[in-house]
Amino acid sequence: MSHNLFETFARRMHERGDADFITTREGRRYSHADALVASASLAGALVELGVAPGDRVAVQVDKSPEAILLYLATLRVGAVYLPLNTGYTGDEIRYFLSDAEPALFVCRPAAVEESRNIAAETGCPAVQTLGTAADGSLMETAAAATPRETVEPREENDLAAILYTSGTTGRSKGAMLTHRNLGSNAATLMEAWHFSENDRLIHALPIFHTHGLFVACNVTLMAGASMLFLPKFDADVIFEEMPRGTVLMGVPTFYTRLVADSRLTPEVTARMRLFVSGSAPLTAETHQAFEEKTGHAILERYGMTETNMNISNPYDGARRAGTVGQPLPGVEIRITDRETGDVVPAGEIGMLQVRGPNVFIGYWRMPEKTREELLEDGFFITGDLALVDEHGYVQIVGRDKDLVISGGFNVYPKEVEQVIDELEGVVESAVIGLPHPDFGEGVTAVVVPKAGAELTEGEVLEHLQGRLARYKQPKRVFFVDGLPRNTMGKVQKNELRKRFDTTYR
């Protein structure tokens, strides 16, 4: 018996037939049946381009329905889907292609020349383009290819996707996700959040990370529901579409902007049944204000690149502000002492660990890192500090590492610091996250200049242009004579956070 996730999706898609799967504001539409046909053509193109079972297909394209069809086609041929943030620079893409060694790199049409150069440097044998209007060489190849109607058999633990997630030191890590990981989590979320074929998801998230791709799209496919695909979050469009939608998945930034708008009323949200928030902490103030204005309590949940979703506030029952809820069915958690690894008493803060069929099988070509974070008993060390309150709800109280989550994207300070420190006139730097009313946390750099150097904020920011994705670049740069350190010489970032806490307030 094959465990290819595509077969699960395909059964539901056959049942749904001509019902909507993906629509756009511009009037483009794929029914479930259309998506099956198109994915077969794209699968034929992948085979003709030399993609074999187990090969990686790296994809850095703008959001479009065809990008999701490419994901389905990749599953169909038994290959491994590797989505890449559209904000990544050429240097970053060079690393990913060198590390993952994909058989195919699909890029935006405007980036094809640079992409071909990078592919040649890294040994990637094929480059194709995909635009936002069903254009690009990949669609031309698919139109001429013999459709691949069959589905490549896969085992439960065969890879379905690799998603890169940064570390606090060194380069990005490729989290290896299997067909079982993705399939089990989608089925669990469909049940937990009461998804059905009658749902219409307003999809305003990017599709290169877990939230927008595996939570939103996989759950929609599993339920036989439909999605309105929006290129990005636009409050005006969201307000227009809510009377025709049933679910919105977003990051906290979505909800802070909606709450600040006078158009947010019980009437405009009357047809909506569910608002989900994740990827960054949602403040209790935003949670309460949204409920006061609409009568809807936002459902906050907790997941990671390596695990998909682990914990969720209930669909039926209290959705407690400031918590991420309780473990999903099939998921186990434990809160452990950071030093000893022993389980701490209820109500005490410790390191959150999770175990379940959703947890990844390791980091791509990083066995030592895998052993550090994925324990022999199957529990994964998340790096988040948490506690379980008196109601049995999990509260995430902070990162063990100094991760900054800005606008729903993970920013790892060490990576930014390394680039700043390359600038002439810089002794050292520290990057921190500070409370930001729009982005949750604002990336902020604190720089120690060399004696006599006359660096400006603008010069530092200019240095980062083209070297780091835009979301990683600091919103402010401050200069200090020295960084605070403890007796062991470690920089005390908590002191910097206190000092600059009101920067964005």
Higher pLDDT, residue 282 or 254: 254
> What does DSSP assign to residue 402?
-
Q: For 201-235, write each residue's pLDDT tens digit.
A: 999 999 999 999 999 999 999 999 999 999 999 99
What pLDDT sits at residue 486?
A: 63
Fold of 33-181: Rossmann fold (3.40.50)
Mean residue pLDDT of the chain comes to 94
Whether 489 has a pLDDT exceeding 60, the answer reads no
Half-sphere exposure of 284 (CA within 13 A, CB side): 6
pLDDT at 391 over 60: yes
Q: Say whether 403-500 and 233-399 share the same fold.
A: no
Residue 163 pLDDT exceeds 90: yes
Residue 170 in this model has a pLDDT that exceeds 60: no
Kindly state the percentage of the chain with pLDDT values over 70.
98
Residue 341, pLDDT > 60, answer yes
For the residues 171-196, what does the mean pLDDT come to?
96
With beta carbons less than 8 A apart as the criterion, state whether 364 and 173 touch: yes
Does residue 274 register a pLDDT over 50? yes
Q: Rounded to 10 degrees, what is the CA torsion of 83, 9, 317, 360?
A: -40
Compute the distance between CA of residue 354 and CA of residue 380 in angstroms, rounded to an integer: 5
* pLDDT over 80 (residue 401): no
Task: Give yes or no for residue 408 having a pLDDT over 80.
Answer: yes
Distance of CA 146 to the CA centre of its chain: 33
Question: Residues of the chain with pLDDT > 90: what percent?
Answer: 85
What is the model's pLDDT at position 21? 98
Q: Is 343 helix (H, G, I), strand (E, B) or coil?
A: strand
Give me the pLDDT at residue 488, please: 40
Residue 402 has pLDDT above 80, yes or no: no
- Say if residue 499's pLDDT is above 50: yes
Tell me which amino acid residue 292 is: E
The tens digit of pLDDT for each residue in 103-155 reads 999 999 999 999 999 999 999 999 999 999 999 999 999 999 999 999 999 99
Average pLDDT over residues 11-30: 98
Nearest-angstrom CA–CA distance, 299 and 193: 9
Mind listing the pLDDT tens digit for each residue in 74-103?
999 999 999 999 999 999 999 999 999 999
Domain assignments of the chain as residue spans, ordered by start? 33-181, 233-399, 403-500
- Pick the range with the lowest mean pLDDT from 71-75, 302-306, 384-388, 457-461: 384-388
Greatest extent of the chain over all pairs of C-alpha atoms, in Å: 71
Q: Which CATH number fits domain 233-399: 3.40.50.970, 3.40.50.12780, 1.10.287.3240, 3.40.710.10?
A: 3.40.50.12780
Which superfamily does CATH assign the domain made up of 403-500 to?
A: ANL, C-terminal domain (3.30.300.30)
Task: Grade residue 294 by pLDDT with cuts at 50, 70 and 90.
Answer: very high
Least confident segment among 247-251, 269-273, 288-292, 450-454: 450-454
Global pTM value = 0.85
Position 336 scores a pLDDT of 96
Contact at 8 Å (CB) between 153 and 2?
yes
